[in-house]
């Protein structure tokens, strides 16, 4: 798909992979509606508009979508479900509130955002949904049971969804990065890029690659790993 002039929604746009993806899409000529609880600092572009949205709340998602269609355009072609949080800890010491917050954001939010864009994508016979999961959706890790559970859920959702909507002209890609240098889990990215981790821009470039695939091709799953991890 040529991305010039295409309308894209990116969730979790304030920093990390979401912001990098918005910037990569803008560089390709797309029109980007950035959804998030806070606006990305310093990101100003004539083809970028920020919409405040808490994806954990279905009404907030519906309102952001109506606002996006009214202010940016009706024909949304791309949805990047990127917003996500990770709370770590042992299962028997894990806060139930933290558990629910992860599922509300990482799983329920993906459902709400996907559900709201699908009717228009089906109507126009074209659309692409990118779900940002994680390698934690392929294998469990100690002290990450809740996070792994949410990302396994996103992977399963994506696998079922692509089979459900492919005949409608809607493509679905599940992107599963390993270690990325972001604010994930409260860590601050270093001043110098960590050569043992991928950068948000690397994930964004892969998302663009999936979006630009020839129309007859769907990259249904992409696993990404650092080339030379520690």
Q: What's residue 184's pLDDT?
A: 60
Q: What's residue 5's pLDDT?
A: 98
Question: Does the pLDDT of residue 138 top 90, yes or no?
Answer: yes
pTM for this entry: 0.95
Question: Does the pLDDT of residue 186 top 60, yes or no?
Answer: no
How large is the average pLDDT for residues 140-153? 96
Q: What's residue 1's pLDDT?
A: 85
Q: Which strands sit side by side in the sheet containing 31-36, from one edge to the other? A: 48-52, 31-36, 7-11, 76-81, 127-132, 170-177, 221-224
In the predicted model, what is the mean pLDDT of the chain?
94
Question: Does the pLDDT of residue 187 top 60, yes or no?
Answer: no
The answer for residues whose C-beta is within 8 angstroms of residue 174's C-beta and 6 or more apart is 131, 133, 137, 154, 155, 158, 159, 220, 221, 222
Q: What's residue 191's pLDDT?
A: 60
- Grade residue 165 by pLDDT with cuts at 50, 70 and 90: very high
Contact call for residues 43 and 23 (beta carbons, < 8 A)? yes
How large is the average pLDDT for residues 140-158? 97
Question: Does the pLDDT of residue 106 top 80, yes or no?
Answer: yes
How large is the average pLDDT for residues 131-147? 96
User: Is position 65 annotated as part of the catalytic site?
Assistant: no
The answer for residues whose C-beta is within 8 angstroms of residue 192's C-beta and 6 or more apart is none
Catalytically annotated residue among 48, 65, 99, 147: 147
The reply to whether CATH 3.40.50.720 applies to domain 7-224 is yes
- Grade residue 179 by pLDDT with cuts at 50, 70 and 90: confident
pLDDT in tens, 188-208: 555 677 878 899 999 999 999
How large is the average pLDDT for residues 156-169? 98
């Amino acid at each position: 798909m040529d991305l010039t002039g295409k309308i894209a929604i990116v969730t979790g746009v304030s920093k990390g992979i979401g912001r990098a993806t918005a910037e990569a899409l803008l560089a390709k000529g797309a029109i980007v509606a950035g959804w998030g609880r806070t606006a990305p600092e310093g990101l100003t572009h004539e083809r970028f508009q920020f919409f405040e949205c808490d994806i954990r709340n279905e009404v907030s998602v519906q309102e952001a979508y109506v606002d996006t269609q009214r202010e940016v355009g009706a024909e949304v072609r791309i949805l990047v479900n990127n917003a996500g949080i990770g709370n770590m800890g042992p299962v028997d010491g894990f806060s139930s509130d933290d558990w629910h917050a992860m599922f509300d954001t990482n799983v329920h939010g993906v459902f709400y955002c996907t559900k709201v864009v699908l009717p228009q994508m089906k109507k126009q016979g074209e659309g692409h949904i990118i779900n940002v999961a994680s390698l934690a959706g392929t294998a469990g890790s100690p002290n990450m049971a809740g996070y792994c559970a949410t990302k396994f859920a996103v992977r399963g959702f994506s696998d079922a969804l692509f089979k459900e909507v492919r005949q409608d002209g809607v493509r679905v890609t599940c992107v599963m990065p390993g270690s990325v240098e972001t604010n994930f889990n409260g860590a601050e990215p270093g001043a110098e890029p960590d050569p043992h981790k991928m950068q948000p821009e690397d994930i964004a470039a892969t998302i663009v690659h999936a979006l630009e695939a020839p129309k007859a091709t769907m990259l249904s799953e992409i696993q990404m790993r650092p080339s030379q991890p520690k």
